[in-house]
Amino acid sequence: MASRQLRRIRSFSDLQLQRLSNAQILTVERFLTTPYDLLMRLLDVDFLTINNLLNELSAMATPTPKTAWNLLQLQNPIPFNIPILDSHLHGGLQAGTITEIVGESSSGKTILCLQLILQSSLLPEHGGFGLSSLFIDAESSFSPRLLLSLASARISPQTVGASENENDVNDTVLQSLMSRVHVMKVSGLSDLARWAQTTLEDQIIEKKIRIVVIDSIAAIVNQSFPSGTSLIDRQHMLSSTTAQLKRAAELFGLAVVITNTAFSSSSHSPTPSLHQDSSLFLPSSTLSLPMPPPSPFTFPSTLSPRLGLLWHHSVNTRLVLVNSLPGTISNIRDRSDDNNEPLNVKLLAITKSPVTAPLAVLVQVDGTGIHQFGSGEEEDFDTS
């Protein structure tokens, strides 16, 4: 309750309130961050009184602690429907955290997001949660058709033999499903920051939103920055927006998924053009510094997520989608029975997670979504 107005607290006299408001100290938050000596002068009281006041107001602004056991009981993750991933992430996407999905363009980021949206929006009889979702679209990547086709694949896997009657039922199911998915367009980071500051909570409460997807954060940051805004300003705005999202996620049991693009580069010799491009955020040489290969994979040295270190610190879980790895795809081809069918196989890796060690799974993308590829055994890759 840090934003509580001071005049609603009985500890102050009218004169003191007047003096505080003259000094622009109107809220508990502001009071707590004002230096002692200034407060003593304003309120005309001694040090001990100020100390007591600060303790009293601190007690008001302190969040209530929960035990870890309570938190464990409250968990309600949204599964990815990729068995290995779900089991390692303890059920999937955890509420109250920010998950980042990094990948190059057309590596399957958006379809993975849509799959999560579907999972939370489907009715419980179809294996979902029956809750709403919000898709923040910065790249015009949201495709209702794709969502529809994913949904119909989930609801009725055998559409071929379905009678007309069943199709009608499915139509109403799909219609209600689509009306639970909300899409919002934003242009620019300042828009997003203002939204997180003001209407985020209203929307969550009003529309019963359970999952927020931002696709993609790099596009939002790249859009329309007025000239004169410094790099540091952007990073701070980004970081405070993330903090707002986290606060809402924690309060309302929300899962937040944010996609981010990555650029391919060889980290040791950045070409001038790449260097220029990435210097929007950080010198690319520093980007690759804090990211040693987390597991025996080669990709982090060739794939650098955008937005730098401060951003990387603020996401809780980072997933990386890799289009293809030289060497591995040919192995898969050899193993697959039907060589004629072009396989759209990607590597999905967890590179940062508070619950599991780095890990990678092969996934297959088709019209029905992203599925685990193969028998379910973890694939073991060697650096090649």
Partner 1 sequence: MESRPLDNIPLSSSTLSLLLKNGFSTVDDVINLRPSELAGELQIEPSEALDILSIIKKFSLGTIRQTQTQPQTQSFTIPASNDRITVQTAWEVIQEYDSLPTIPTLCEPLDDLLRRGIPVGSITEFCGSPGSGKTQMCIQLCLSVQLPASLFGPNSEAVYIDTEGSFMPDRAAMMAESLSTHIPQAPTVQEFLTRIHVYRPHSHTTLLATVRNLPTFLEQHPHVHLIVIDSISAPLRHQFEDGISTRNLIITEIASALNSIAKMNKIAVVCTNQLTTKPPKSQPQSEPQQEAQLLPALGDVWTQHVTHRIVLRMALQKQTLQPIRIATVLKSPVALSTTSTPFTITADGIRSSSSQTADPTDLDEQNEWEVE
59 or 160: CB nearest partner 1: 59
236-263: burial string, b at 16+ Cβ within 10 Å, e else: ebbeebbebbbebbeebbbbbbbbbbbb
148 or 359: CB nearest partner 1: 359
Distance CA 371, CA 83 (A): 9
Sign (positive/negative) of CA torsion 10, 65, 134, 142? positive
Distance CA 149, CA 367 (A): 7
358 or 369: CB nearest partner 1: 358
Q: Which of residues 270-299 bind partner 1 (CB under 8 A)?
A: 282-283, 285-286, 289-296
Q: Which of 14, 48, 334, 380 binds partner 1 (CB under 8 A)?
A: 48
For 17, residues 6+ apart whose C-beta sits below 8 A from its C-beta are 6, 7
Ramachandran category for residue 91: left, alpha or beta (phi over 0 → left; psi -120 to 50 → alpha): left
Give the other-Cβ count within 10 Å of 343's Cβ: 16
Q: Which of residues 313-372 bind partner 1 (CB under 8 A)?
A: 313-316, 318, 351-355, 357-358
Q: Is 194 in the site for partner 1 (CB under 8 A)?
A: no
Rounded to 5 degrees, φ, ψ at 214 are -115, 120
Instruction: Provide the minimum distance between the beta carbon of 356 and partner 1 in the complex, in angstroms, as a whole number.
Output: 8
Instruction: Provide the minimum distance between the beta carbon of 221 and partner 1 in the complex, in angstroms, as a whole number.
Output: 16
Instruction: Provide the minimum distance between the beta carbon of 329 and partner 1 in the complex, in angstroms, as a whole number.
Output: 23
130 or 294: CB nearest partner 1: 294
Q: Which of 312, 323, 325, 362 binds partner 1 (CB under 8 A)?
A: 312
Instruction: Provide the minimum distance between the beta carbon of 44 and partner 1 in the complex, in angstroms, as a whole number.
Output: 5
Distance CA 17, CA 267 (A): 58
Element (H, E) at 213: strand 209-215
Instruction: Provide the minimum distance between the beta carbon of 291 and partner 1 in the complex, in angstroms, as a whole number.
Output: 7
3-state secondary structure of 195: helix
Distance CA 283, CA 275 (A): 7
Token pair 């293809």: residue: 324
Element (H, E) at 155: helix 144-155
Q: Which of 5, 15, 21, 90 binds partner 1 (CB under 8 A)?
A: 90
326 or 342: CB nearest partner 1: 326
Q: Is 216 in the site for partner 1 (CB under 8 A)?
A: no
Q: Which of residues 225-264 bind partner 1 (CB under 8 A)?
A: 233, 236-237, 239-240, 243, 246-247, 249-250
Q: Which of residues 91-150 bind partner 1 (CB under 8 A)?
A: 91, 94, 96-98
Which residues pair with residue 138 across a beta bridge?
none
Instruction: Provide the minimum distance between the beta carbon of 228 and partner 1 in the complex, in angstroms, as a whole number.
Output: 15
Distance CA 220, CA 191 (A): 9
Instruction: Provide the minimum distance between the beta carbon of 168 and partner 1 in the complex, in angstroms, as a whole number.
Output: 42
Binding track over 66-85 against partner 1, x by CB under 8 A: xxxx-xx--x----------
Q: Is 58 in the site for partner 1 (CB under 8 A)?
A: yes
39 or 322: CB nearest partner 1: 39
17 or 177: CB nearest partner 1: 17
Q: Is 63 in the site for partner 1 (CB under 8 A)?
A: yes
Ramachandran category for residue 25: left, alpha or beta (phi over 0 → left; psi -120 to 50 → alpha): beta
Size of the site for partner 1 (CB under 8 A): 77
Q: Which of 11, 13, 33, 167 binds partner 1 (CB under 8 A)?
A: 33
Binding segment toward partner 1, per CB under 8 A, in 9-17, 56-64, 157-165, 203-211? 56-64
- Please report, for residues 105, 119, 175, the alpha-carbon distance to residue 210 in angstroms, rounded to integers and kept in the order given: 26, 11, 19
Q: Is 15 in the site for partner 1 (CB under 8 A)?
A: no
